[in-house]
Amino acid sequence: MLSTELSAYVHSLLDKSLSWLRGSYNGAESSFVIGATALHIAYLYKDYWPVMGGIESHVRTLAEGVVARGHRVSVVVCQPAAQSCLPHETINGVDVYRVPRHIDVASSPFSWQLASIVRQLNHDLVHLQMPWPGGDVALAWAPIPYVVTYQSDVVRQQRLLALYAPLL
């Protein structure tokens, strides 16, 4: 049954993406129908609200929309640079987990604790926002089903792209 639920979720993302590419996407979230079992979906990216940005806003919209459909949602991110946020809080029904930033490389934070918390939370599915090398590394150590949304190209860090390209 779980594979049917995951498939429905992934298909809803694909439907939304195809609608957008065709120019017929109207901004509404795609719906996905599942059985009586609620999924536990994790969104994985480097930042989340109160950090403001396009991808951060997108993840917040997705996470809150999925919660509104009756699913359990966690967002796992790094602690914002130069800010002090709670390591765990619930925002509009979304459980937000912030792990320490241990290093930043070319605007990309890495945390040694990221893979560990992703494994501990026991999600049904992880939705990674790319490019984010820290998230790629974490998923390599956390054998959990995942989907990826590729948000943007690596433009400014061309030298580092040679190292990162095999993960893309």
pLDDT in tens, the chain (168 residues): 455 565 566 656 655 544 444 455 455 544 444 454 788 999 988 888 888 888 888 899 989 988 988 889 999 988 877 777 888 999 999 999 998 888 777 677 777 888 888 889 888 888 888 777 777 777 777 777 888 787 665 555 555 555 555 555
The pTM assigned to this predicted structure is 0.70
Helices (H) and strands (E) in the chain, counts: 5, 8
Which of 168, 165, 115 lies closest to 143, judged by CA? 115
- All residues at 6 or more sequence positions from 42 whose CB lies less than 8 Å from its CB, including other chains: 73, 74, 75, 76, 118, 121, 123, 125, 126, 127
